[in-house]
Amino acid sequence: MTTTPPAFPASAREWLAHLVAFDTTSRNSNLALVESVETWLDALGVRSTRVPAAGGGKANLLFSIGPEVPGGVVLSGHTDVVPVDGQTWRSDPWTLTERDGRLHGRGAADMKGFLATGLSRVPAMLAAGLKRPVHFALSYDEEVGLLGAPALIEALMASVPRPALVVVGEPTGMRVVDRHKGIMGLRTTVLGHEAHSSQTHLGASANMAAARLMARIVEIADRLAAAPAAVPGFEPPHATVTIGLVEGGTAPNILARRCAFVWDIRSGSPAEARAVFDEVDALARQLEADMRARFDDCGIQTEVLSDVPPLTGALDAPALALVSRLAGSAEREAASYVAEAGLFERAGLPTVICGPGWIAQAHQPDESIEIGQLAAGEAFVDRLIEALCE
């Protein structure tokens, strides 16, 4: 029987403390965490595969426990966390600290708690004699645009027999979420022609053109919010369009040369998201033509920063039955946030979101997970092991 080497964590709580200690804020490398898991896997005799980012500063990690046969289950989670900058914490965010039945630390809920429950059960998986495999898929840069997941999923599909189910362990209180909205993240950059602000006929303000585009985005957002609820289960029950960042101009008395704004469209329908984009882009093309008729150095360009499909809940019956059994409930919910689940589903894999902790704790100062939730995550994986031994 293979056992965990004593130098490494054993329980889910020990693993969570170990993982939280790595500052894997998305702006940083996650390689120290990846190397730690690789070293532990090597000691257990488990082969793992890195899927590096361009430049090599970060990496996804793939490994499997059990036979190389179809019908396995993927446990997927991201290794990066959001910053603690400007937040007031009562304890060190990189040291797991217990208070009032909760374990505090950055990533405790989102989503190192899920990773900890899975990793803590690897020795049990090795000893159980699984008849179908468990595939672990650890990604980077989920929090800044789900950047690592596409290459991770491509490598998974190319290297393992087709899985029956993917469980993405975002914090849901161990409830099954089978739908989430998609997101199209965009950056629009307007280039104008500089002139003195008293001589508006001699220039074209990028800020003024950008303001017209942003006004149209606000109009669309209001229109979507006023429409009858078309997507039950989501909160809010309609598509949303928001502008998150605006920067432009150099001085109050200069017609702005450049203005850029970042905006996003969140919808349960890719067609609806595309229609919103097309409406804004049509106005952009009109404004660009008017500006370029006067100054040929003007222009408007929109860059797609992210385009993540929604999770639709298109599960096959056996996968749904297995999820219900593992979670202990046949109920399913929807989430308005975006996760890597939609990308797995787009690759043709039945996918759900289910993990310990609550999304309300994510990204907050004193982020935490209830000890009972961590135990519920362990129980979920234990039931998974039993199911895959049958």
Amino acid at site 311: L
The Cβ-side half-sphere exposure at 278, using a 13 Å CA radius, reads 6
Flag whether 3 is in a domain: no
Structure tokens of 338? 């975006």
pLDDT tens readout for residues 189-242: 999 999 999 999 999 999 999 999 999 999 999 999 998 766 678 889 999 999
Same structural domain, 329 and 381: yes
Directed axis angle between helix 12-20 and helix 112-120, to 10°? 130
CATH code, domain with 26: 3.40.630.10
Same structural domain, 286 and 347: no
Flag whether 5 is in a domain: no
Predicted pLDDT of residue 361 = 94
Residue matched to tokens 């890719």: 270
**Domain containing 202: what range?**
182-308
Q: Where are the alpha helices (DSSP H) in the chain?
A: 12-20, 31-44, 112-120, 122-128, 149-159, 206-226, 270-292, 317-327, 341-346, 371-388
Flag whether 7 is in a domain: no
Same structural domain, 79 and 197: no
Flag whether 1 is in a domain: no
Same structural domain, 21 and 161: yes
pLDDT tens readout for residues 244-299: 999 999 999 999 999 999 999 999 999 999 999 999 999 999 999 999 999 999 99
- Closest to 374 measured CA to CA, from 69, 149, 172, 113: 113
Domain boundary among 280, 308, 336: 308
Regions of the chain with pLDDT less than 50:
1-3, 5-6
Domain boundary among 308, 336, 367: 308
Predicted pLDDT of residue 231 = 67
Kindly write down the DSSP assignment for every residue of 32-86, as one continuous string: HHHHHHHHHHHHHT--EEEEEPTTSS-EEEEEEES-S-SS-EEEEEE--B---TT
Flag whether 369 is in a domain: yes
Same structural domain, 300 and 328: no
Same structural domain, 208 and 287: yes
Same structural domain, 171 and 29: yes
Flag whether 4 is in a domain: no
Same structural domain, 284 and 193: yes
Flag whether 281 is in a domain: yes
Same structural domain, 343 and 230: no
Flag whether 197 is in a domain: yes
Domain boundary among 286, 308, 330: 308
Same structural domain, 131 and 38: yes
If you count them, how many residues does the chain have?
390
Predicted pLDDT of residue 203 = 98
CATH code, domain with 284: 3.30.70.360
Instruction: List C-alpha distances in Å: 97 to 54, 91, 94, 356.
Output: 35, 7, 9, 17
Predicted pLDDT of residue 7 = 67
Same structural domain, 105 and 50: yes
Same structural domain, 297 and 323: no
Count of domains forming the chain: 2
